[in-house]
């Protein structure tokens, strides 16, 4: 273990060497300075566990030194050496954060006692700091673990939905990939991108609460059945509401809102719909149209593009449609089959 260090500050060489000898006898490292300025330089360069400083000194005096040092390290232990009967200075020093004071003329026993007491304080503070650091590390470790369990629980839920609803298989991942592509092109903040990523993965989780025969029905839905399906965003909130942030939850809850206010569940309009939900709405519809369903073939890309364009300003936020078209047109130009294009995007999600 490294030796503890004491900085002795006094303008009188006799007192300085007297102090230094005591410090050495007690087996501490020591540094010496003849005024506050010099002490400050040494302190900044080497540091010190304990400082014993005279008050009256040229250049920077003891109280000035105390003030500067405590500004750099509010926990620095400092012992002041004051003239006998100078109770005003003692008061000032203690008020400024000095740990203790010793009266001149110096008494050997008193000096030793004060140094030992000061060092006990230094060690106590070090232990406390170690304990706090350790605690922080443990909290960070536990937080990581909780996040892992949380992510596992959410994945289990997503898997449960995929087992129940064939159509969802791969759908959430593809929607998330496209939504992320749009979000990045719109230069959203890393935090917003992360929120959209989570919301995308779980946007349809509420379908767990939808009856199987309706979820997997071949053919069009009756109004009652459609009303039941429309409950899935709210069911998602009921299931994962306590687990994730409100911003993410709102994206999930409002991913079926329409730009013109005719969507569900709340009938929000325009910019009142969270941005992430408006992005997800485009990505979700695109994937729904271009994926094969049990009762119909996937729409050709060109038809699906026209459909999205046609609904800009009514169902979708037109600005987001523009960004989406940039992405999709660019991909069309690469003449890659759609699956390959999305494969590239999916890597970003995984
Ligand atoms: Fe949905």
Per-residue pLDDT at 158? 80
CATH 3.40.50.2300 domain extents, the chain:
5-134
Q: Confidence band (pLDDT; 50, 70, 90) for 346?
A: very low
Distance between start and end Cα atoms, the chain: 47
Neighbours of 149 (CB within 10 A): 10
Query: pLDDT of 211-236, one tens digit each?
Result: 988 888 877 889 999 999 999 999 99
DSSP letter assigned to residue 233: H
233 CA from centroid of ligand 1 (Å): 7
Distance CA 74, CA 129 (A): 13
Torsion of CA 262, 267, 271, 275, to 10 degrees: -100
Mention the CATH class of domain 165-349. mainly alpha
Structure tokens at 1: 């273990």
Residues facing residue 5 across a β-bridge: 29
Per-residue pLDDT at 337? 45
Query: pLDDT of 267-290, one tens digit each?
Result: 999 999 999 999 999 999 999 999
Contact between residue 146 and residue 189 where contact means Cβ atoms under 8 Å apart: no
Residues facing residue 9 across a β-bridge: 33, 53
The proportion of the chain whose per-residue pLDDT surpasses 90, expressed as a percent, equals: 68
Contact between residue 8 and residue 48 where contact means Cβ atoms under 8 Å apart: no
Q: Confidence band (pLDDT; 50, 70, 90) for 294?
A: low
Contact between residue 66 and residue 96 where contact means Cβ atoms under 8 Å apart: yes
Say yes or no to pLDDT of 197 above 80.
Answer: yes
Q: Tell me how many degrees the CA angle 89-90-94 measures, rounded to the nearest 5.
A: 115
264 CA from centroid of ligand 1 (Å): 10
Q: Confidence band (pLDDT; 50, 70, 90) for 36?
A: very high
256 CA from centroid of ligand 1 (Å): 6
Query: How far, rounded to the nearest angstrom, does the alpha carbon of residue 64 sit from its chain's CA centroid?
Result: 39
Contact between residue 197 and residue 244 where contact means Cβ atoms under 8 Å apart: no
Torsion of CA 231, 232, 236, 237, to 10 degrees: -30
Neighbours of 202 (CB within 10 A): 24
For residues 297-323, average pLDDT: 94
Say yes or no to pLDDT of 159 above 90.
Answer: no
Which of 154-158, 171-175, 212-216 bottoms out in mean pLDDT, i.e. has the lowest?
A: 154-158
Q: Confidence band (pLDDT; 50, 70, 90) for 153?
A: confident
Per-residue pLDDT at 31? 95
Looking at every residue in the chain, the average pLDDT score rounds to 89
Asked, as a colleague might, if the bond just before 105 is cis with ω within 30 of 0, I would say: yes
Q: Is 275 helix (H, G, I), strand (E, B) or coil?
A: helix
Say yes or no to pLDDT of 330 above 70.
Answer: no
236 CA from centroid of ligand 1 (Å): 10
Say yes or no to pLDDT of 2 above 70.
Answer: yes
249 CA from centroid of ligand 1 (Å): 13
323 CA from centroid of ligand 1 (Å): 21
Task: For domain 5-134, say whether CATH 1.10.1660.10 is its number.
Answer: no
Q: Is 243 helix (H, G, I), strand (E, B) or coil?
A: coil
337 CA from centroid of ligand 1 (Å): 26
For residues 136-150, average pLDDT: 88
Q: Confidence band (pLDDT; 50, 70, 90) for 257?
A: very high
Conformation bin of residue 221: beta by default, left when phi > 0, alpha when psi is -120 to 50: beta
CA nearest neighbour of 61 among 28, 22, 96, 103: 96
200 CA from centroid of ligand 1 (Å): 10
203 CA from centroid of ligand 1 (Å): 6
338 CA from centroid of ligand 1 (Å): 22
Q: Confidence band (pLDDT; 50, 70, 90) for 310?
A: very high
CATH 1.10.3210.10 domain extents, the chain:
165-349
Say yes or no to pLDDT of 348 above 70.
Answer: no
Burial tier of 249 (Cβ tally within 10 Å: 0-12, 13-18, 19+)? buried
17 CA from centroid of ligand 1 (Å): 81
């Amino acid at each position: 273990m490294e030796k503890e260090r004491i900085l002795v500050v006094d303008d009188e060489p006799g007192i300085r060497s007297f102090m230094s000898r005591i410090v050495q006898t007690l087996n501490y490292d020591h540094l010496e300075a003849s005024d506050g300025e010099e002490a400050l330089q040494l302190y900044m360069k080497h540091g010190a566990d304990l400082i014993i400083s005279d008050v009256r000194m040229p250049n920077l005096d003891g109280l000035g030194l105390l003030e500067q040092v405590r500004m750099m390290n509010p926990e620095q232990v400092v012992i002041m050496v004051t003239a006998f009967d100078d109770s005003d200075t003692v008061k000032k020093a203690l008020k400024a954060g000095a740990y203790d004071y010793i009266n001149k003329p110096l008494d050997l026993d008193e000096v030793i006692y004060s140094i030992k007491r000061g060092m006990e304080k230094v060690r106590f503070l070090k232990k406390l700091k170690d304990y706090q650091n350790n605690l922080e590390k443990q909290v960070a470790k536990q937080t990581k673990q909780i996040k892992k369990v949380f992510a596992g629980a959410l994945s289990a839920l997503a898997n449960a939905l995929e087992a129940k609803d064939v159509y969802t298989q791969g759908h959430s991942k593809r929607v998330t990939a496209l939504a992320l592509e749009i979000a990045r092109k719109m230069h959203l903040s890393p935090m917003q991108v992360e929120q959209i990523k989570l919301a995308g993965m779980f946007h349809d989780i509420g379908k767990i609460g939808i009856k199987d025969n309706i979820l997997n029905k071949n053919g069009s839905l009756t109004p009652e059945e459609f009303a039941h399906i429309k409950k899935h965003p709210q069911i998602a909130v009921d299931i994962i509401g306590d687990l994730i942030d409100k911003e993410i939850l709102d994206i999930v809850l409002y991913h079926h809102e329409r730009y013109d206010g005719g969507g569900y569940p709340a009938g929000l309009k325009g910019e009142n719909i969270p941005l992430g939900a408006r992005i997800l709405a485009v990505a979700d519809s695109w994937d729904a149209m271009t994926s094969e369903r049990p009762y119909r073939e996937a729409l050709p890309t060109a038809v699906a593009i026209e459909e999205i364009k046609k609904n800009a300003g009514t169902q979708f936020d037109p600005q987001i449609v523009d960004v989406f078209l940039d992405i999709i047109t660019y991909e069309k130009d690469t003449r890659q089959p759609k699956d390959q294009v999305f494969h590239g995007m999916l890597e970003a999600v995984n």
